[in-house]
Amino acid sequence: MDAPTARSELRILISDNINDKQAYRKEVFGDIDAANTVYKTLEDRRVTDFTTAVAPQGVYLDNTIVAPSDVIKDDVVTGEFVLRTAPAQPKKVRATYYSQWFLDVEIDQFIVSASQWCLSQDAITGIPDGLIPAVLHFAAGEAYLKLSLKWARRLSEEFRTEDAEDKERFGIVQAYQASAKAEKATAQNFRQNYYQRNDQARAPLYTSTAGNVRRVQPKS
């Protein structure tokens, strides 16, 4: 398996292709005060660029789509975009777009880490076909672990004491952590079964343990 194929297979496994995650008419962050023109979507690493978006993708003022030419700047990696004209109350700024969790460079790093774990090498090329599932599931575990860390940090930064009892908001961290643990356990089983069927003497002389994410404490 070559690197582009591995990247594609991993995105399929974790449902992170360009059309997998759509936000529909979702409110964005930013003051609506007839002066502010800078807004930000909750999701970063957007696939949709608002300066070139084709309907129904794009920015909306209430139920009216904004022309792409009226979005003068869009940073799809951070989610921040700039409107030509500042909206005023009682308008609502919403957006429809696709996003991905990870950039290609991040996906590639998960695969490198998995290749190192599985056969002590950086490149996926040369790894036996029987070990490919182990590599992909371990890489998926790395991806979910990074998501749990990302959301733990975001919630810690953005939510305060009054949000502490809203367990649904914080449950996403534990869900991603559980997914990471499950994927790495699956990878361990694939790797163990492969070496049991083949040359056990070549099995790596180490094991790994899924990482933990600290409990999120809202700001006081």
**Rounded mean pLDDT, 168-183:** 88
Q: 166: pLDDT confidence band, cut at 50, 70 and 90?
A: low
193 shares a domain with 150? yes
- Please give the tally of structural domains in the chain: 2
Specify whether 91 is located in the same domain as 7: no
- 89 plus 180 within the same structural domain: no
What confidence score (pLDDT) does residue 209 get?
47
112 and 94 part of one domain: no
Per residue in 118-143, pLDDT (tens digit) is 888 888 888 899 999 999 999 999 99
Q: Is residue 216 a part of any domain in this protein? A: no
Structure confidence by residue, pLDDT tens digits, 143-158: 999 999 988 887 776 6
- Domain region containing 152: 3-15+102-202
Domain for residue 79, yes or no? yes
Q: Is residue 95 part of a domain?
A: yes
b/e map 134-171, b = 16+ CB within 10 Å: bbbbbbbbbbbbbbbbbbbeebbeebeeeeeeeeebbe
Does one domain contain both 86 and 146?
no
Residue-level pLDDT at 163: 47
Segment 95-104 shows an average pLDDT of 96
Among 99, 126, 147, residue at a domain's last position: 99
Backbone φ and ψ of 86, nearest 5°: -75, 125
Supply 84's token pair. Answer: 């030509």
Percent pLDDT > 70 in the chain is: 84
Give the pLDDT band of residue 31 (cuts 50, 70, 90): very high
pLDDT band at 197 (very low <50, low <70, confident <90, very high): confident
The verdict on 42 and 127 lying in the same domain is no
pLDDT band at 14 (very low <50, low <70, confident <90, very high): very high
Q: Are residues 89 and 173 in the same domain?
A: no
Does residue 140 belong to any structural domain of this protein?
yes
Residue 137 belongs to a domain:
yes
Q: Kindly indicate the confidence band of residue 200, based on its pLDDT and cuts at 50, 70 and 90.
A: low
9 plus 107 within the same structural domain: yes
